[in-house]
Structure 1
């Protein structure tokens, strides 16, 4: 019984560490893409926050600092609670 619990714990630990690595890789991708996207924003912190949320959900960020939303359909189609575009 103890062997079963220990092996289950090890498998869980291995799976969680691999998921953590994937999440961290996605974070660095989003950070770099959103840094470019929000480089000319008047409200930089807000732009980075919402761009990060959209990037994590869509796994893409349009190129440039404005427009080009047709490059990423998911990013383009996300709406806030008021029906306005959520992603910068």
Structure 2
């Protein structure tokens, strides 16, 4: 009886760990401040609302935003490689 309870406990723990690992963006176990990082990233944009929307989507999917207001995309390859349906860069 005790071994059955122990097995059930282990199985439950594995299930919870798998759930946490698969719901975090690209294996990251922490959340970043997308609004803050995108706010700074888009602060000099000519179209800030569009920039914030695109940056927010990219940040949520990739779990990172490159530093600065432009460039530095080598810091976050997922962010740099995301494209629109037309093949253009999605992330500002």
Q: Same fold (TM over 0.5)?
A: yes
Alignment of 1:1-88 (within 5 A): 26=31, 29-88=33-92
Larger radius of gyration between Structure 1 and Structure 2: 2
CA-based RMSD of the aligned residues comes to 1.9
TM-score of the aligned structures, taking structure 1 as reference length? 0.69
For structure 1, list consecutive stretches of 5 or more residues without a partner in the other structure. Answer: 1-18
Shift of 1:37: 0.2
Structure with the larger helix share = 1
TM-aligned CA deviation for residue 62 of structure 1: 0.2
1:57 and 1:48 map into 2 onto residues whose CA distance is 14
Deviating beyond 3 angstroms after TM superposition, the runs of 4 or more aligned structure 1 residues are none
Counterpart of 2:12 in structure 1 is none
**Over residues 11-33 of structure 1, what are the superposed CA-to-partner deviations in whole Å (9 max), with x where a residue is unaligned?**
xxxxxxxx9xx9xx84x700000
Q: How many residues align?
A: 66
Give the alignment's TM-score, normalised by structure 2: 0.66
